[in-house]
Structure 1
């Protein structure tokens, strides 16, 4: 089955579409990557989205407009992926949508909201669409994240030692071989917020780590940031930009005075490296396989490597999955599992009471024709 996975992460910079040819072979799920296309949000939509996210305020009217416009943007990217990556012969769309709020309170997740109405994708492509993946896990008592943990566990099974998968998106998360998975805290969220704030919106992220590379870590600010209670919470746990946003940084800066932009960004980069490395150390990792936008920041990767002596640090590209496309491929896998009646969660990773089939399905142009249910969930992922 040719599936297109669509993803826009907490950095909300672009929509990634990863196409994969997926099939079941005994107890293995075989994934053949077909490529990635990426479309940046147009600036007007990106600004409207940014203004509506915490700590900003919004209205139901604006939420409705964003749901429609994001859905149309996802649909345009899906149409391009069907044409360019699948020669017009895709069979399923799996859309994560755009997370705008993750309702976490008192150590529990009570709800989540991803925008990008799937009806626009079904209408534009004519294909069935699986969307709204996180809600079912939350209804079953889980955190709704990190959902890529199932794919990581299948993919890393059989590797020697204790391999740990790391995603360095806006929020960083880990998956360990025993099924432990959690968000460690900010990946690039605070770095991006600082880059935008200090540049007056000219920069959306620290390009090539240039700001961090030109600064010095400010220890008092770092210690103040590390006082955030989230870091001490036990797994499973999840977080988002509801916590780690520009206001969070401003609160920390209020206690240390005025600093050069480069020093602030260097300190935030070390915050990510330190909180990730501390979490990795608790898992006894012998190898960390990283993916996500943060892998393109050489200063962040260098700081992380320095804090993980004796642990091999590599990117998912070395194992056959492009780091920029890995999350899109992961949601393609989750959509494939859903259409085959197979669970897409690991209770130990999300904290749910039971593994559940995820998502809601919007029929395509020819109605809904699902494949026969599969007998058992695969135990490994093979990347061709």
Structure 2
């Protein structure tokens, strides 16, 4: 089945679009990546989303405008990619949408909201759309995150080494896989969320990324601000756990700067401190598992300063990127959702309770019909146990 996948992360950088050819035989899934692209949001819609994110107040009118706007811009991206990436052969679209709120109360997730009305995508492409991928897991008592854990476990689970998959989006999440223990997955805390918030603060919104980590590379870690940031109670919670910009946002950063008395901190020292927070909290989260190697993905892999600090703190574990396993580091999350939607179409659960904290494994999402009658295949009976990336540069894990 050829699947188109659409997503947008907590950084609201762009719409990630990926296409994959997936086959499933006897519990093994083979994924052939067909292409990936990033499609920029319109300036107006991106501004509307950023202005509505926590802790900002918003209105139901704004929620409706975002839901419609994201659906329409996802639909345009899907229509173009259906031609360019699949030659018109796509059979299913999977849309994660844009997360606007992740409702956590006393460490438990009560609800989660992803916007981007799938009807627009179904009408534009004529294809059925799987969307709302997290809510079933939340309703079963889970965090609805990280959904990447299923992908990671299927891809890394046949290795004899202790491995971790690390995604560096706005929030960092990890999946730890080893032959001698059940898989574990959770959000570790901010990856780029605070760094990007600082850049927007320093540039009055003109920019939102420290390109190539150049500013942070010139700075020194401020011990007072570093200590204040590490005092967040989230780091003391045990997995499974999840977080978002509800916890780590521009207002929180401003409060910590004031608390530490660092209002006059130079831009380079501020960003160096935030990079160190990300690197140290990721490494601390992985320390109990004594992993041998870490496969990173997400926008943070484009920040050489962050990657150097991670490499130092994760040693002796080897840090590399998911590209070593045949996937574009920027495209992994989109391929994760392609896999989850493909499994939903075939009646297979899209999450792992040990990783999300759910009481049982659930089939993810809901389906919006396309232009033709909706006909699902019979549910697959074989348990899914392996994911193979079929790629010209790599078709299996490196030798262990």
Same fold per superposition (TM over 0.5): yes
Is 1:320 matched up with 2:348? Answer: no
Contact 1:38–1:77 (Cα < 8 Å) also in 2: no
Contact 2:174 2:187 in 1 (8 A): yes
Corresponding residue for residue 104 of structure 1: 104
Q: Deviations over 1:88-138 (max 9, x none)?
A: 110000100000000001010000000000000000000000000100000
Inter-partner Cα distance in structure 2 for 1:319 and 1:235: 26
TM-score (normalizing by structure 1): 0.99
Is the counterpart of residue 248 in structure 1 residue 267 in structure 2? no
Residue aligning to 2:354: 348
CA deviation after TM superposition for structure 1 residue 38, in Å: 1.3
Shift of 1:284: 1.3
Counterpart in the other structure of 1:383: 389
Q: Is the 8 A contact 2:26 2:382 kept in 1?
A: no
Which of 212, 215, 235 does residue 216 from structure 2 map onto?
212
354, 364, 370: which one pairs with 1:364?
A: 370
What CA distance in whole angstroms lies between the structure 1 residues aligned with 2:340 and 2:165? 17
Alignment of 1:303-342 (within 5 A): 303-342=309-348
What SS does structure 1 have at the residue aligned with 2:314? coil
Distance 2:382 2:205 in 1: 49
**TM-score normalised by length of structure 2:** 0.95
8 Å CA contact 2:128–2:367 kept in 1: the answer is yes
Matches within 5 A, 1:151-190: 151-177=151-177, 178-190=182-194
Tell me how far 1:362 sits from its aligned partner: 0.2
Matched, 1:269 2:269: no
- Superposition deviation, residue 350 in structure 1: 0.3
| CA deviations over 1:295-334 (Å, ceiling 9, x no partner) | 0000000000011121110000111011111110010000
User: How many Å apart are 1:377 and its aligned residue?
Assistant: 3.0
Report how many aligned residue pairs link the two structures: 384
Task: Provide the rounded CA distance (Å) in 1 between the counterparts of 2:103 and 2:55.
Answer: 14
Find the counterpart in structure 2 of residue 129 from structure 1.
129
- Displacement of 1:371 after TM fit? 2.0
Query: In the TM superposition, what is the alpha-carbon distance from 1:7 to its structure 2 partner?
Result: 1.0
My pick for the range that moved more, 366-375 or 339-348, is 366-375
Provide the rounded CA distance (Å) in 2 between the counterparts of 1:181 and 1:135.
Answer: 18
Displacement, 1:281?
Answer: 1.0
Answering whether residue 90 of structure 2 is matched by residue 90 of structure 1, we say yes
For residues 99 and 329 of structure 1, the distance between their equivalents in structure 2, rounded to whole angstroms, comes to 17
Q: Structure 1 unaligned runs (5+)?
A: none
Q: Distance in 1 between matches of 2:69 and 2:300?
A: 27
State whether residues 172 and 189 of structure 2, in contact with CA within 8 Å, keep that contact through their aligned partners in structure 1.
yes
Separation (CA, whole Å) in 2 of partners of 1:70 and 1:334: 20
DSSP 3-state at the match of 1:271: helix
Equivalent position SS for 2:153: helix
Which residue is 1:22 aligned to? 22
Deviation at 1:75, TM superposition (A): 0.5
| Structure 1 segments of 4+ aligned residues over 6 angstroms from their partners | none
Instruction: State the superposition RMSD in angstroms.
Output: 0.8
Contact 2:216–2:305 (Cα < 8 Å) also in 1: yes
- Give the Cα–Cα distance (whole angstroms) in 1 for the partners of residues 383 and 200 of structure 2: 43
Query: 1:85, CA displacement in angstroms?
Result: 0.5
Distance between the aligned counterparts of 1:269 and 1:41, measured in 2? 26
Contact preservation (8 Å) 2:142, 2:359: yes
Distance in 1 between residues matched to 2:108 and 2:52, nearest whole Å: 23
C-alpha contact (below 8 Å) 1:180/1:349 kept by paired residues: yes
Instruction: Report the Cα distance in structure 2 between the residues aligned to 1:283 and 1:9, rounded to whole angstroms.
Output: 27
Match of 2:284 in 1: 278
C-alpha separation in 1, matches of 2:167 and 2:183: 15
Q: 2:152–2:175: 8 Å Cα contact kept in structure 1?
A: yes
2:40 matched to which residue of 1?
40
Structure 1 position 57, deviation (Å): 1.2
- Inter-partner Cα distance in structure 1 for 2:366 and 2:383: 19
Q: Deviations over 1:251-309 (max 9, x none)?
A: 11002232111111110010000000111111111100000000000000000001112
